[in-house]
A and B are shown apart, each in its own frame.
Chain A
Amino acid sequence: MKRYSVFAIAREALRQHQGWNRAWASPEPRSKYDVIIVGAGGHGLATAYYLGKNFGITNVAVIEKGWLGGGNTGRNTTIIRSNYLQDPSAAIYEKSRSLYETMSQDLNYNVMFSPRGVLMLAQTEHEVRGYKRTAQANALQGVTTEFVDAKRVKEICPIMNTDGPRYPVLGGLWQARGGTARHDAVAWGYARACSDMGMHIIQQCEVKGVTTDGGKVTGVSTTKGDIGCDKLGMVVAGHASHLAQMAGFQLPIESVALQALVSEPIKPCMDIVVMANTVHGYLSQSDKGEMVIGGGTDGYNNYTQRGSFHHVEETVRALVETFPMLAQLKMLRQWGGIVDVTGDRSPILSKTPVDGCFVNCGWGTGGFKAIPGSGWAMAELMAKGHSPLTEEFTMNRFRHGKFIDESVAAGVAH
């Protein structure tokens, strides 16, 4: 792999950019791999990357039915934060946030991580109490957050109207080290690093079945033929239940559509990420100047990657009171992704009833921030059979009532 650097740019500038290599190879599948990861989104590629980097397992294929990073990895609102309430969540999300800080150097690929700060608005008395509690929990977990009052909120984000009649801003949970990153670059960077380690990234290859022998996974049948493996990692977000069904088990997951939209690009006006969970809206400004707005989920099971206009209306209607300037903007694009939601709004990183088959899903509406931490933990789980970061996130926790209940703490918006 040719490293990207300022010298490489200068060299290529002098020869009409003829010397750039493809960032990753597109090989035909072999008949067998040590590990197959289904799903070449951020989580799948990160899992493959850390299998190679941390455990030296490089005979790995990452199989993708569409194109690389074309699912939720390319559809989210790129928010990175780790201000969760429960200890297991804080551990994996904070691991993830810290890995984002060094990701560009680690991958030699600019993922444009921008730790601009994430502010979660408290717009009801309940939220004030809830976020104060979260700030206290974060202090014990070693996650740096603070509860700030309305005056400080106004200082951090001057374009905000903090004394609206219906949703006054009473304060906020401020994580200064949260932020955003370029979501495509995260997938591309991992793909390039995986390909460099000799792993196969196989796009346009849909898994049609999972083959087992005596309760142990032996491979997958795909649109490009049967491919064998010793271990199988299912990292397919909204399609987790669909794939699990092929392997013969059920998951405590429901798939619903989550949508986002962006405005026309405008001059820089907001240099942080704001989340308003009471009104199900979150907002940041992209480097291109677009206001990126995320909304709530549709309530019903859905595998179509589109949104619905009444949710757009609901989100924007609520946000314009807090951000009156938004009312002047035209919206450019709107899209949806299928998110996999569990009963306690926490993910599943787990062994399954099928020996050698592991599942990483249930990130629901908030998976992007978790990509490196999830990959790190999933790789350890698949390589060693256990990981301190995944211990609490088993698929059986619902049976035992051991919820990691973030549904109250995080609400809808992630």
Chain B
Amino acid sequence: MLMLHCPNCGRDVDETDLHAGGEAHLRREGAEASAEAFEDYLFMRKNPKGVHFERWHHTFGCGKWFHAARDTATLEVFGTYSAQTSEPPKEIIDRIAEKRPNWSWESDT
């Protein structure tokens, strides 16, 4: 079973207490945005085989959202962090870069 650390309430929780919220750091355009921009925001997903940044909801717990960095090919969890950000914190990026030399945040975005 997948276990994640909720940075909001500080608990290590099983996936059964969580709800997956899909890709994190999506950019929502304004009302004047093009159809393509809305398509990107609503439907287009990186869906990588590898490093994935994603949203999780601590449904049966503190009820708050947080973000996780995880490898979808190995299920390794690199860390979790607050959802109040538009990009992962440096320590998470550094930790991933150390374990996945071919990966970089710049090429991911």
**Are A and B genuine complex partners?**
yes
Given contacts A300-B54, A399-B36, contact A254 B1 (CB under 8 A): no
Interface string of A379-409 (1 = CB under 8 A from B): 0000000000000000000111000000000
Q: Is the C-beta of B22 less than 8 angstroms from some C-beta in chain A? A: yes
Asked if A302 and B42 make an inter-chain contact with CB atoms under 8 angstroms apart, the answer reads: no
Q: Is the C-beta of A299 less than 8 angstroms from some C-beta in chain B? A: yes
Asked if A300 and B74 make an inter-chain contact with CB atoms under 8 angstroms apart, the answer reads: no
Q: Is the C-beta of B49 less than 8 angstroms from some C-beta in chain A? A: yes
Asked if A254 and B35 make an inter-chain contact with CB atoms under 8 angstroms apart, the answer reads: no
Chain A residues with CB under 8 A of B97: none
Q: Is the C-beta of B85 less than 8 angstroms from some C-beta in chain A? A: no
Chain A residues with CB under 8 A of B75: 302, 304
Q: Is the C-beta of B39 less than 8 angstroms from some C-beta in chain A? A: yes
Shortest CB-to-CB span from A295 to chain B, Å, is 14
Cα–Cα, bound, A252→B43 (Å)? 5
Interface string of B15-37 (1 = CB under 8 A from A): 11001101100000000000110
Interface string of A281-305 (1 = CB under 8 A from B): 0000000000000000011111110
Asked if B1 and A250 make an inter-chain contact with CB atoms under 8 angstroms apart, the answer reads: no
Q: Is the C-beta of B46 less than 8 angstroms from some C-beta in chain A? A: yes
Q: Is the C-beta of B44 less than 8 angstroms from some C-beta in chain A? A: yes
Tell me the nearest residue of chain A to B22, going by C-beta: A254
Number of contacts between A and B (CB, 8 Å)? 74
Tell me the nearest residue of chain A to B16, going by C-beta: A310
Most chain B Cβ neighbours within 10 Å, of A239, A254, A400: A254
B72 contacts which of A251, A299, A303 (Cβ < 8 Å)? A303
Cα–Cα, bound, A302→B72 (Å)? 5
Judged by DSSP, the binding face of B is mixed
Q: Is the C-beta of A253 less than 8 angstroms from some C-beta in chain B? A: yes
Cα–Cα, bound, A239→B44 (Å)? 15
Chain A residues with CB under 8 A of B14: 310
Asked if B42 and A253 make an inter-chain contact with CB atoms under 8 angstroms apart, the answer reads: no
Interface size grouping (class) on chain B: 20 to 34
Chain B residues with CB under 8 A of A398: 39, 42-44
A252 contacts which of B1, B20, B45, B70 (Cβ < 8 Å)? B45
Judged by DSSP, the binding face of A is mixed
Interface size grouping (class) on chain A: 20 to 34
Asked if A304 and B54 make an inter-chain contact with CB atoms under 8 angstroms apart, the answer reads: no
Q: Is the C-beta of A343 less than 8 angstroms from some C-beta in chain B? A: yes
Chain A residues with CB under 8 A of B43: 252, 342-343, 398
Asked if B42 and A255 make an inter-chain contact with CB atoms under 8 angstroms apart, the answer reads: no
Cα–Cα, bound, A249→B44 (Å)? 10
A308 contacts which of B1, B22, B39, B48 (Cβ < 8 Å)? B1
Chain B residues with CB under 8 A of A343: 42-43
Q: Is the C-beta of A309 less than 8 angstroms from some C-beta in chain B? A: yes
Q: Is the C-beta of A242 less than 8 angstroms from some C-beta in chain B? A: yes
Asked if B47 and A254 make an inter-chain contact with CB atoms under 8 angstroms apart, the answer reads: yes
Chain A residues with CB under 8 A of B46: 241, 245, 250
A-B contact pairs, 10 of them (CB 8 A): A241-B46, A250-B44, A252-B45, A254-B45, A255-B49, A255-B72, A302-B75, A303-B49, A310-B1, A343-B43
A-B contacts besides A252-B44, A301-B22, 18 pairs, CB < 8 Å: A241-B45, A252-B39, A252-B43, A252-B45, A254-B45, A299-B19, A300-B2, A300-B20, A301-B72, A302-B75, A303-B49, A303-B73, A304-B72, A310-B14, A342-B43, A398-B44, A399-B36, A399-B39
Contact surface of B with A, Cβ cutoff 8 Å: 1-2, 14-16, 19-20, 22-23, 35-36, 38-39, 42-49, 52, 54, 70, 72-75
- Nearest 7 interchain pairs by C-beta: A241-B47, A252-B43, A300-B20, A299-B20, A399-B39, A398-B43, A242-B49
